[in-house]
Structure 1
Amino acid sequence: MALVRRHASDWFEVDIDRDARRVIVRRLPPLFRSQADAELACTPVLDVLDAIDRATHTLMMDVRLARGVNDPEYEAWYAPLRREIVRDFRRVAIVVRSASGWLQAQRLASVDRDEGFRVFDDLARAERYLDGR
């Protein structure tokens, strides 16, 4: 595994595994306090993702450290940013830590992408999925 850290902030870490052609985005615990916070946090992540050919890469979105928020207003202003993060990747795996996180991620995944998108509570299973196994 040849991981290269491409971005780190209070909200996100972004690594690229060049060998596996995989992007790993980790959502960290701090909540976005506003839409402006979310845009500030997501812009550098999107810059990294826009600099690669998403169609030839997979995405692992690791949200195990994130604090879940199911407030409709929060979800509404974060939704366009979330969709922009996951767009155009060959496959996307969301890794969660709890049953409630799985349910929420599954609900959001059904809105964000039609195919190539799965939710896992096990990192190894997510990696196998992204590898096509």
Structure 2
Amino acid sequence: MGLSSSSKQIFQDEYFTAFVDERLRIVRTVRGDKPFGTLEDLDGIFARLGDALDTLDRSRYGHLADIRAAPGRNDPQFEAAMDRLRPRWIGGFRKIGVLVRSTVGLLQIQRHARRDGVNRLISQDEAELLKYLTEED
């Protein structure tokens, strides 16, 4: 189960691709497998992604963040930078679902959710996330 054939790509760089599915009212961001460069690079990466997502009325959409391909990284400097930048990526959406590859990834995202105070469903099951994101509140 994935986004419908009516989904359209709204952003792509070497780190992320973003799609919007108007029928399902879901935005999907897919993190590629290329490691981030320096911590200073992160500001530009998330500014560009955030600008693309800002072209949408975020409150109308569920957001599926597919991070299965992301290289694992949890050093303190990276974690601090992501705490600062994550709202630019996931902020303002009606609901958030995070698709992870492993239990380790699930635990890391749970830790982020506690620090952010932003509710999200974290799962290795895409169908479960899509069901959650398309349910009415």
TM-score by length of 1: 0.93
Query: For residue 89 of structure 1, what is the aligned residue in structure 2?
Result: 93
Deviates more, 1:105-114 or 1:117-126: 105-114
Q: Is the 8 A contact 2:46 2:85 kept in 1?
A: yes
Unmatched segments (≥5 aa) in structure 1: none
TM-score by length of 2: 0.90
Amino-acid identity (%) = 30
Unmatched segments (≥5 aa) in structure 2: none
Query: For residue 38 of structure 1, what is the aligned residue in structure 2?
Result: 42
Please tell me the residue identity of whatever aligns with 1:3: S
1: CA distance, partners of 2:118 / 2:105: 20
After superposition, the CA RMSD in angstroms is: 1.3
Q: Is the 8 A contact 2:59 2:94 kept in 1?
A: yes
Corresponding residue SS for 2:71: coil
- When the two structures are aligned, how many residues end up with a matched partner? 132
Q: Is the 8 A contact 2:97 2:121 kept in 1?
A: yes
Q: Is the 8 A contact 2:59 2:93 kept in 1?
A: yes
Query: For residue 15 of structure 2, what is the aligned residue in structure 1?
Result: 11
Q: Is the 8 A contact 1:60 1:93 kept in 2?
A: yes
User: Paired residue for 2:127, among 109, 117, 124?
Assistant: 124
Q: Is the 8 A contact 2:46 2:88 kept in 1?
A: no
Q: Is the 8 A contact 2:58 2:93 kept in 1?
A: yes
Query: For residue 47 of structure 1, what is the aligned residue in structure 2?
Result: 51
* Offset at residue 49 of structure 1 (A): 1.2
* Offset at residue 31 of structure 1 (A): 1.7
Corresponding residue SS for 1:119: strand
Deviations 1:68-109 (A, max 9, x none): 111111111122211221111110000000010010011112
Please tell me the residue identity of whatever aligns with 1:74: F
1: CA distance, partners of 2:134 / 2:8: 19
